[in-house]
Amino acid sequence: MFRAVFYTQWKWARPVVLLGVLIAGYIPVEALRSFSYKSAGEYYIPSLYASISSASTGYQLLALGVAVVVALSAWQADIQRQHVYSLSLPVPRWKFVLLRFGAGAALLGIVALAVGVFGGVAAALAPLPAMLHAYPAGLALRFWLGELIPFGLIFALLASNSRRVRMVVIAVATLVAVDFLLAAFGVTATTEMTHWLWDALYSPSGPLAAFLNRWMLIDV
Protein backbone atom coordinates (compact mmCIF):
# COMPACT_ATOMS: atom_id res chain seq x y z
CA MET A 1 0.00 0.00 0.00
CA PHE A 2 2.79 2.40 0.87
CA ARG A 3 4.44 1.75 -2.49
CA ALA A 4 1.23 2.68 -4.32
CA VAL A 5 0.74 5.86 -2.30
CA PHE A 6 4.39 6.82 -2.72
CA TYR A 7 4.20 6.27 -6.47
CA THR A 8 1.13 8.47 -6.87
CA GLN A 9 2.71 11.28 -4.87
CA TRP A 10 5.96 10.86 -6.78
CA LYS A 11 4.08 11.42 -10.06
CA TRP A 12 2.51 14.63 -8.69
CA ALA A 13 5.65 16.04 -7.07
CA ARG A 14 8.33 14.63 -9.40
CA PRO A 15 9.19 17.91 -11.22
CA VAL A 16 9.71 19.79 -7.95
CA VAL A 17 11.71 16.98 -6.34
CA LEU A 18 14.02 16.66 -9.35
CA LEU A 19 14.44 20.42 -9.52
CA GLY A 20 15.23 20.42 -5.80
CA VAL A 21 17.92 17.77 -6.39
CA LEU A 22 19.50 19.92 -9.11
CA ILE A 23 19.47 23.01 -6.91
CA ALA A 24 20.91 20.99 -4.04
CA GLY A 25 23.85 20.20 -6.30
CA TYR A 26 24.22 23.76 -7.52
CA ILE A 27 24.31 25.49 -4.11
CA PRO A 28 27.60 24.02 -2.78
CA VAL A 29 29.32 24.34 -6.16
CA GLU A 30 28.34 27.99 -6.42
CA ALA A 31 29.43 28.59 -2.83
CA LEU A 32 32.87 27.04 -3.33
CA ARG A 33 33.71 27.98 -6.91
CA SER A 34 34.95 31.47 -5.97
CA PHE A 35 37.42 29.97 -3.51
CA SER A 36 40.98 29.93 -4.84
CA TYR A 37 42.19 26.35 -5.24
CA LYS A 38 45.84 27.47 -5.39
CA SER A 39 46.01 28.22 -1.69
CA ALA A 40 44.05 27.54 1.48
CA GLY A 41 45.71 30.23 3.55
CA GLU A 42 44.05 32.33 6.19
CA TYR A 43 43.63 35.20 3.74
CA TYR A 44 40.87 33.30 1.94
CA ILE A 45 39.01 32.01 4.99
CA PRO A 46 36.76 35.08 5.58
CA SER A 47 35.52 35.10 1.97
CA LEU A 48 34.98 31.34 2.05
CA TYR A 49 33.04 31.54 5.32
CA ALA A 50 30.90 34.39 3.98
CA SER A 51 30.11 32.35 0.87
CA ILE A 52 29.11 29.29 2.90
CA SER A 53 26.96 31.48 5.16
CA SER A 54 25.11 32.79 2.11
CA ALA A 55 24.65 29.22 0.92
CA SER A 56 22.86 28.38 4.17
CA THR A 57 20.11 30.81 3.16
CA GLY A 58 19.81 28.99 -0.15
CA TYR A 59 19.40 25.68 1.66
CA GLN A 60 16.66 27.13 3.87
CA LEU A 61 14.74 28.59 0.92
CA LEU A 62 15.08 25.29 -0.95
CA ALA A 63 13.79 23.32 2.04
CA LEU A 64 10.84 25.66 2.48
CA GLY A 65 9.91 25.68 -1.20
CA VAL A 66 10.12 21.92 -1.68
CA ALA A 67 8.20 21.24 1.54
CA VAL A 68 5.34 23.57 0.57
CA VAL A 69 4.94 22.13 -2.92
CA VAL A 70 5.15 18.50 -1.78
CA ALA A 71 2.57 19.16 0.94
CA LEU A 72 0.20 20.82 -1.52
CA SER A 73 0.64 18.09 -4.12
CA ALA A 74 -0.07 15.37 -1.54
CA TRP A 75 -3.74 16.34 -1.33
CA GLN A 76 -4.35 18.40 -4.47
CA ALA A 77 -5.65 15.50 -6.57
CA ASP A 78 -7.87 14.25 -3.73
CA ILE A 79 -9.33 17.72 -3.21
CA GLN A 80 -10.09 18.10 -6.92
CA ARG A 81 -11.73 14.66 -7.04
CA GLN A 82 -13.55 15.18 -3.73
CA HIS A 83 -11.52 12.43 -2.00
CA VAL A 84 -13.11 9.67 -4.10
CA TYR A 85 -9.76 7.87 -4.47
CA SER A 86 -8.95 7.87 -0.76
CA LEU A 87 -12.47 6.82 0.26
CA SER A 88 -12.42 3.92 -2.20
CA LEU A 89 -9.34 2.34 -0.61
CA PRO A 90 -9.86 -0.53 1.87
CA VAL A 91 -7.91 1.22 4.65
CA PRO A 92 -9.03 3.43 7.53
CA ARG A 93 -8.77 7.17 7.07
CA TRP A 94 -6.10 7.57 9.76
CA LYS A 95 -3.90 4.93 8.14
CA PHE A 96 -4.26 6.54 4.73
CA VAL A 97 -3.22 9.90 6.19
CA LEU A 98 -0.13 8.30 7.75
CA LEU A 99 0.73 6.68 4.42
CA ARG A 100 0.39 10.05 2.69
CA PHE A 101 2.59 11.70 5.31
CA GLY A 102 5.20 8.94 5.12
CA ALA A 103 5.32 9.17 1.33
CA GLY A 104 5.76 12.94 1.51
CA ALA A 105 8.51 12.60 4.10
CA ALA A 106 10.28 10.09 1.84
CA LEU A 107 10.10 12.51 -1.10
CA LEU A 108 11.58 15.25 1.06
CA GLY A 109 14.28 12.77 2.05
CA ILE A 110 15.34 12.46 -1.59
CA VAL A 111 16.21 16.16 -1.71
CA ALA A 112 17.86 15.97 1.71
CA LEU A 113 19.98 13.04 0.53
CA ALA A 114 21.02 15.06 -2.51
CA VAL A 115 22.04 17.92 -0.20
CA GLY A 116 24.31 15.57 1.74
CA VAL A 117 25.80 13.81 -1.28
CA PHE A 118 26.48 16.90 -3.39
CA GLY A 119 27.67 18.85 -0.38
CA GLY A 120 30.06 16.07 0.59
CA VAL A 121 31.47 15.75 -2.93
CA ALA A 122 31.91 19.51 -3.31
CA ALA A 123 33.62 19.81 0.08
CA ALA A 124 35.88 16.85 -0.69
CA LEU A 125 37.08 18.46 -3.91
CA ALA A 126 37.76 21.84 -2.28
CA PRO A 127 41.12 22.31 -0.48
CA LEU A 128 39.65 23.46 2.82
CA PRO A 129 41.85 25.02 5.50
CA ALA A 130 42.79 22.76 8.38
CA MET A 131 40.53 24.52 10.88
CA LEU A 132 37.41 24.17 8.73
CA HIS A 133 35.51 20.89 8.31
CA ALA A 134 32.59 19.72 6.16
CA TYR A 135 29.43 18.33 7.76
CA PRO A 136 27.35 17.01 4.84
CA ALA A 137 25.56 14.32 6.87
CA GLY A 138 24.60 16.77 9.61
CA LEU A 139 23.42 19.31 7.04
CA ALA A 140 21.35 16.67 5.23
CA LEU A 141 19.67 15.62 8.49
CA ARG A 142 18.99 19.21 9.48
CA PHE A 143 17.67 19.94 5.99
CA TRP A 144 15.25 17.01 6.16
CA LEU A 145 14.00 17.91 9.63
CA GLY A 146 13.64 21.52 8.53
CA GLU A 147 11.56 20.40 5.55
CA LEU A 148 9.26 18.35 7.78
CA ILE A 149 8.19 21.39 9.82
CA PRO A 150 6.40 23.42 7.10
CA PHE A 151 5.41 20.19 5.36
CA GLY A 152 3.70 18.92 8.52
CA LEU A 153 1.89 22.21 9.15
CA ILE A 154 0.48 22.47 5.62
CA PHE A 155 -0.19 18.72 5.40
CA ALA A 156 -2.23 18.81 8.63
CA LEU A 157 -4.38 21.68 7.37
CA LEU A 158 -5.05 20.03 4.01
CA ALA A 159 -5.74 16.64 5.58
CA SER A 160 -8.35 18.04 7.93
CA ASN A 161 -10.64 20.10 5.73
CA SER A 162 -10.20 22.21 2.59
CA ARG A 163 -12.75 24.68 3.91
CA ARG A 164 -10.67 25.13 7.04
CA VAL A 165 -7.63 25.85 4.89
CA ARG A 166 -9.47 28.57 3.01
CA MET A 167 -10.64 30.08 6.29
CA VAL A 168 -7.10 30.16 7.68
CA VAL A 169 -5.69 31.71 4.50
CA ILE A 170 -8.44 34.33 4.36
CA ALA A 171 -8.03 35.15 8.06
CA VAL A 172 -4.26 35.61 7.78
CA ALA A 173 -4.56 37.66 4.58
CA THR A 174 -7.24 39.85 6.18
CA LEU A 175 -5.16 40.37 9.32
CA VAL A 176 -2.11 41.44 7.30
CA ALA A 177 -4.16 43.72 5.02
CA VAL A 178 -5.91 45.45 7.93
CA ASP A 179 -2.65 45.79 9.79
CA PHE A 180 -0.96 47.52 6.84
CA LEU A 181 -3.97 49.82 6.33
CA LEU A 182 -3.96 50.85 9.99
CA ALA A 183 -0.26 51.61 9.80
CA ALA A 184 -0.66 53.49 6.50
CA PHE A 185 -3.35 55.78 7.91
CA GLY A 186 -1.41 56.39 11.13
CA VAL A 187 -3.80 54.54 13.42
CA THR A 188 -0.90 52.40 14.63
CA ALA A 189 2.78 53.26 14.67
CA THR A 190 3.85 50.03 12.96
CA THR A 191 2.34 46.84 11.58
CA GLU A 192 1.98 45.39 15.06
CA MET A 193 -0.20 42.39 14.23
CA THR A 194 2.08 41.32 11.38
CA HIS A 195 5.10 41.59 13.67
CA TRP A 196 3.27 39.55 16.29
CA LEU A 197 2.45 36.86 13.72
CA TRP A 198 6.05 36.83 12.50
CA ASP A 199 7.39 36.54 16.04
CA ALA A 200 4.94 33.72 16.80
CA LEU A 201 6.26 31.73 13.84
CA TYR A 202 9.95 32.56 14.08
CA SER A 203 10.50 32.97 17.81
CA PRO A 204 12.88 30.49 19.49
CA SER A 205 9.84 28.50 20.62
CA GLY A 206 7.89 28.95 17.37
CA PRO A 207 7.22 26.25 14.75
CA LEU A 208 9.77 27.70 12.29
CA ALA A 209 12.55 28.25 14.84
CA ALA A 210 14.78 25.83 12.91
CA PHE A 211 15.11 28.46 10.19
CA LEU A 212 16.57 31.03 12.59
CA ASN A 213 20.05 29.49 12.64
CA ARG A 214 22.43 28.99 9.76
CA TRP A 215 22.58 25.64 8.01
CA MET A 216 26.31 25.36 7.45
CA LEU A 217 27.93 22.82 5.15
CA ILE A 218 31.40 23.91 6.29
CA ASP A 219 32.20 25.13 9.77
CA VAL A 220 34.93 25.03 12.39
Query: 178 in a domain, yes or no?
Result: no
- Model pLDDT, residue 21: 95
Flag whether pLDDT at 69 surpasses 70.
Answer: yes
- Residue-averaged pLDDT of the chain: 78
Give me the mean pLDDT over the 137-160 stretch. 87
- Model pLDDT, residue 98: 87
- Model pLDDT, residue 38: 47
Query: 33 in a domain, yes or no?
Result: yes
pTM: 0.75
Give residue 24's pLDDT band: very low, low, confident or very high (50, 70, 90).
very high
Query: 190 in a domain, yes or no?
Result: no
Give me the mean pLDDT over the 177-194 stretch. 76
Provide the 3-class DSSP secondary structure of residue 219. Answer: strand
Cα dihedral 71, 76, 79, 85 sign: negative
Query: 138 in a domain, yes or no?
Result: yes
What's the CA gap between 125 and 218, in Å, rounded? 13
Task: Count structural domains, the chain.
Answer: 1
Give residue 72's pLDDT band: very low, low, confident or very high (50, 70, 90).
confident
Percent of residues, the chain, with pLDDT higher than 70: 75
Query: 108 in a domain, yes or no?
Result: yes
Query: 205 in a domain, yes or no?
Result: no
Query: 133 in a domain, yes or no?
Result: yes
Range of the domain at 33: 2-161+210-219
Other CB atoms within a 10 A radius of the CB of residue 173 amount to 10
Other CB atoms within a 10 A radius of the CB of residue 182 amount to 16
Query: 192 in a domain, yes or no?
Result: no
- Name residue 218's beta-bridge partners: 134
Flag whether pLDDT at 122 surpasses 50.
Answer: yes
Report which of 131, 136, 124 is spatially closest to residue 45, judged by C-alpha positions: 131
Cα dihedral 48, 39, 117, 26 sign: positive
Give me the mean pLDDT over the 118-136 stretch. 80
Give residue 56's pLDDT band: very low, low, confident or very high (50, 70, 90).
confident
Flag whether pLDDT at 43 surpasses 60.
Answer: no
Give residue 181's pLDDT band: very low, low, confident or very high (50, 70, 90).
confident
Report which of 118, 162, 158 is spatially closest to residue 137, judged by C-alpha positions: 118
Lowest-pLDDT range of 44-53, 114-123, 179-188:
44-53
- Model pLDDT, residue 195: 72
What's the CA gap between 62 and 58, in Å, rounded? 6
What's the CA gap between 12 and 18, in Å, rounded? 12
What is the number of helices (H) and of strands (E) in the chain?
A: 7, 2
